[in-house]
Amino acid sequence: MLFDPYKLKNISLRNRIAMAPMTRNQSPGGIPTNEVVSYYERRAKAEVGLIITEGVEVSHKASSAYPNVPRLDTENARDGWKKVVDSIKSHNGAVIAQLWHCGGFRKLGMDPDPLVPGHTASGLVRPGKRVAHAMTSDDIKETVEAYAIDAKRCEEIGFNGIEIHGAHGYLIDNFFWSGTNEREDFYGGSIEKRSQLVTDIVKAIRSSVSDDFIVGLRFSQWKQQDYEARLASTPEDLEKVIGPPADAGLDFIHSSMRRFWESEFEGSKENLAYWTKKITGLPTISVGSVGLDSDFIDMTAPASPSNIDKAIEDITKEKYDMVAVGRALLADHEWVIKMKEGRVGDVNPYTKEALFKLY
Ligand SMILES: Cc1cc2nc3c(=O)[nH]c(=O)nc-3n(C[C@H](O)[C@H](O)[C@H](O)COP(=O)(O)O)c2cc1C
């Protein structure tokens, strides 16, 4: 099942394995270089079913928080992405761009405008730490428009779709989280209202791209600010978080976990991706230490290859539809082929050196 073709909306994927989005900080001036092109091409050639790109900064003045992250707001950046897309497609791959707004991870002094502070729902970057700018309605409107414009740009470049990065404590997750969203307007005050920002973004994107273009959302319970934080403690609450954006026109949801084998809610052994699929009926991607023998807490910690029987079993039982693989694919671009052929012993183990080289 895992290695068999899968249809995601209008595209036929050659298997159910996605490359997880991974920031590489190797695109000076926001422009993907030829090395970035080759990096993605290597994985498309080695049979990765769907490539989800590293986070691409949405074209908003406060989206950036890290150096050399790719963007979409210059012709050179878009030309760079076109090379990435064309090379992936020339190897029968499919590719989705992850759109990212860093929210409260931005600090004064950062590029592109050092005077622009981090933007968050209520000025909080974590519970109790109010050092960012609390977004006004105009800021929200501008941000929503930026997503719609960038999604259209992605469609024009030739991407098969986009994924909205709504996970890990960044802007959208800052709105989702009761610990950082203290708003009392349309965008806060209840669990449903904390989802309103992303629902607005999905609606705006849907009206700017064609019906065939894939629009997905990545979300997580965990945050970099707090691994134990949760948006929902019951399936009923989870429905309030992801139901509204799903109804606004999502095509898939990517449920980010640190350990995909862990149970999400008390009284059931199923994970977050299972519940996401059950609640929304949408195609769901499961992620978090797939094919590795240790969990995703510290990305610099080494991890050895392990088998993927649990993922295969879950997909066969239709608990979720795809798996995303991060570090294992950084360490070995031929991971898919080797796993398909049952050559676990040939897979290169993950070490932190993989973070620094773009191979
Ligand atoms: C170097 C690195 C960069 C990452 N960058 C992103 C990112 O840009 N967007 C995102 O949603 N997740 C990002 N993540 C998280 C991964 O997508 C994935 O969820 C995580 O690595 C767990 O999967 P794994 O255990 O298969 O590596 C990153 C992870 C790593 C290791």
Structural domain boundaries in the chain: 13-281
Pocket-testing residue among 17, 22, 292, 296, ligand 1, by greatest number of atoms within 8 A of Cβ: 22
Atom 18 of ligand 1: nearest residue by CA position: 326
Average per-residue pLDDT for the chain: 97
**Dist. CA 255 → ligand 1 center (Å):** 12
Atom 10 of ligand 1: nearest residue by CA position: 21
**Dist. CA 124 → ligand 1 center (Å):** 24
Q: Is the pLDDT of residue 295 over 80?
A: no
pLDDT at 293: 85
C-alpha 351/C-alpha 196 separation (Å) is 39
C-alpha 98/C-alpha 202 separation (Å) is 14
Q: Which residues line ligand 1 (CB under 6 A)?
A: 20-23, 54-55, 98, 165, 167, 218, 256, 287-290, 292, 296, 299, 325-328, 355
Q: Is the pLDDT of residue 313 over 90?
A: yes
Ligand 1 atom nearest to 327, measured from its CA: 27
Q: Which residues pair with 254 in a beta bridge?
A: 218, 285
Atom 28 of ligand 1: nearest residue by CA position: 22
**Dist. CA 345 → ligand 1 center (Å):** 24
C-alpha 275/C-alpha 234 separation (Å) is 10
Provide the residue count of the chain: 359
Over residues 271-294, mean pLDDT: 96
Q: DSSP H helical segments within the chain, as ranges? A: 34-45, 75-90, 137-157, 171-176, 191-194, 196-208, 235-247, 272-280, 309-316, 327-331, 335-340, 353-356
Atom 1 of ligand 1: nearest residue by CA position: 22
Over residues 114-125, mean pLDDT: 98
Atom 25 of ligand 1: nearest residue by CA position: 289
Say if strands 119-120 and 94-100 run parallel, antiparallel, or are unpaired.
Answer: unpaired
How do residues 155-187 score in pLDDT, each as one tens digit? 999 999 999 999 999 999 999 999 999 999 999
Ligand 1 atom nearest to 168, measured from its CA: 11
CB 161 within 8 A of CB 202: no
**Dist. CA 266 → ligand 1 center (Å):** 26
Q: Is the pLDDT of residue 198 over 80?
A: yes
pTM, rounded to two decimals: 0.98
The full DSSP string for 247-281 is: HTT-SEEEEE-S-TTS--STT----HHHHHHHHH-
From the list 13, 4, 1, the residue with the least C-alpha distance to 93 is: 13
Confidence of residue 308 (pLDDT cuts 50, 70, 90): very high
pLDDT at 306: 87
Confidence of residue 296 (pLDDT cuts 50, 70, 90): confident
Pocket-testing residue among 23, 260, 289, ligand 1, by greatest number of atoms within 8 A of Cβ: 23
From the list 122, 123, 225, 113, the residue with the least C-alpha distance to 169 is: 225
Over residues 210-216, mean pLDDT: 98
Over residues 82-89, mean pLDDT: 98
Ligand 1 atom nearest to 328, measured from its CA: 26
**Dist. CA 288 → ligand 1 center (Å):** 9
Over residues 299-326, mean pLDDT: 94
Atom 2 of ligand 1: nearest residue by CA position: 22
Q: State the catalytic residue, choosing from 6, 170, 274, 350.
A: 170
How do residues 18-69 score in pLDDT, each as one tens digit? 999 999 999 999 999 999 999 999 999 999 999 999 999 999 999 999 999 9
**Dist. CA 327 → ligand 1 center (Å):** 7
pLDDT at 192: 96
Give me the CATH code for the 13-281 domain, please: 3.20.20.70
How do residues 127-152 score in pLDDT, each as one tens digit? 999 999 999 999 999 999 999 999 99
Ligand 1 atom nearest to 291, measured from its CA: 26
Q: Which residues contact 161 (CB under 8 A, 6 or more apart)?
A: 9, 96, 97, 154, 213, 214, 215, 216, 251
CB 308 within 8 A of CB 321: no
Q: Is the pLDDT of residue 294 over 80?
A: no
Instruction: Assess whether 170 carries a catalytic annotation.
Output: yes
Atom 15 of ligand 1: nearest residue by CA position: 22
**Dist. CA 21 → ligand 1 center (Å):** 6
Q: Is the pLDDT of residue 6 over 90?
A: yes
